[in-house]
Amino acid sequence: MMVASTVRYQAFGVRTCTRTLRYNRRTAAAAAATQTGETKKVALVTGGSGGIGASTVRNLVEKNYTVVIAARSKTKATSAADQVRESVPDADVRIADLDLASFASVRACADNILDEYERLDVVCNNAGIMALPSRELSVDGCEMQMQVNHLGHFVLMEKLYPLLKATADASGEPARIVNVSSVAHNFASTSFPVTDVNLAEPGAYGALGWTAYGNSKLANILFTKELHRRLRKAGVSNVLVNAVHPGVVDSELPRNLSINFYPLLRILGQLITNDEGARGQTRLCLGSAPFETVSGAYIAEMASQGKKGEHELFDSSAQSNDLGLQRAFWDESCRLTGSKWNVLEASTQTEQQLSEMNV
């Protein structure tokens, strides 16, 4: 059950502060255990039942995380969890029902997570669909790729943010949000439809093919950068959020393409494996060097630069760095989902101060 209360958190010698949060009923009791290392870190991976998501789950389990696979298919999630347990002794892998194409399902999943888990250290928003052959709307009336790839995760993060923040406060270590984007964000509409995300124009391959997918991947980066800015404006420095292009992975994601160029990329040696694609988001989830304190950034796989399977900080598109677009699309995402993000505290820094900090 979710309750509103005021809890005091003492994080490893840092002065005690009082924060009003909407949080899980177990969070207060878990704070002391978190501080003394009595509980394992917990990570949630959406779409963790296959592809780079499954590789990410295994990587985190190998680092002694409890990992929750949030997926639509319980059968696939169970199979993925069983495979991890076979390869990693004493693996702690859980399953959560999540259909990102339904805001009701997303909120129900988040409520279950908040009710069941005492802490949450990492969320990897990995699930996604790609280049649908025809225009399709979700049960909530949103273009399907935009809802599954961005809007569903937007709702999920609003609900889970308080537990991420409480965990960071109690443990003294940053909580981390990783949004899986794509180089395809460069394929977004040049006049990104802030107020028309149910885009009806045809894409390069079939109706809505690349344009809608590109829009959803641009949305991932806009969300990342705007959330980072709002966190810093609220004086929150212990919740880090980044976006990552995992690389062009040899997976089932392009199954809807009417013209599949993956065989050519395979011949040219430009495709990478699931394990290679998962490296970047795994490093962000773990805060591995050089990403320990990075936030608001875009990380990309570097095969195009002759560094296959390596991930580095990279410049995303000019569109994705447009402050006005970031803010406008945040507001539009709130309108479409009914989210308010009131969980972010009032600003403690001015826009001028943020500008001077390059936030």
- Which pair of tokens denotes residue 254? 């392009």
Residue 13 covered by a domain: no
So what's the pLDDT on residue 4? Answer: 32
Q: Is 213 a catalytic residue?
A: yes
Within-domain flag for 3: no
Q: Answer for the pair 122, 60: CB distance below 8 angstroms, yes or no.
A: yes
Give domain status of residue 191, yes or no.
yes
Beta-sheet strands, E only, within 51-172: 66-71, 93-97, 122-125
pTM reported for the whole predicted model? 0.85
In this predicted structure, what is the pLDDT of residue 212? 86
Residue 21 belongs to a domain: no
Question: How do the pLDDT tens digits run along the chain, 359 residues long?
Answer: 333 333 333 332 322 233 334 444 444 545 544 544 547 999 999 999 999 999 999 999 999 999 999 999 999 999 999 999 999 989 999 999 999 999 999 999 999 999 999 999 999 999 999 878 778 899 999 999 999 999 999 999 999 999 999 999 999 999 999 999 999 999 898 888 787 777 766 554 454 467 888 999 999 999 999 999 999 999 999 999 999 999 988 766 555 555 455 555 554 456 889 999 999 999 999 999 999 999 999 999 987 778 888 999 999 999 999 999 999 999 999 999 999 998 885 444 445 554 554 55
Q: Would residue 308 count as lying in a domain? A: yes
- pLDDT of 135: 83
32 lies in a domain?
no
**So what's the pLDDT on residue 86?**
96
Catalytic residue, candidates 205, 213, 262, 298: 213
Name the CA radius of gyration of the chain, rounded.
19
- Among 163, 258, 261, which residue's Cα sits nearest to residue 208? 258
Report the domain count for the chain.
1
- pLDDT for 132 equals 80
Domain that holds residue 155: 41-356
Peptide bond into 290 cis (omega under 30): yes
Query: Do the beta carbons of residue 42 and residue 135 sit within 8 Å?
Result: no
State residue 304's pLDDT score.
Answer: 77
Among candidates 199, 229, 234, which has minimal Cα distance to 213?
A: 199
Residue 301 domain flag: yes
CATH at residue 56? 3.40.50.720
Torsion of CA 269, 145, 124, 60, to 10 degrees: -50
Output the pLDDT for position 32: 46
**pLDDT at residue 217 in the model:** 97
The whole-angstrom separation of Cα 313 and Cα 347 is: 28
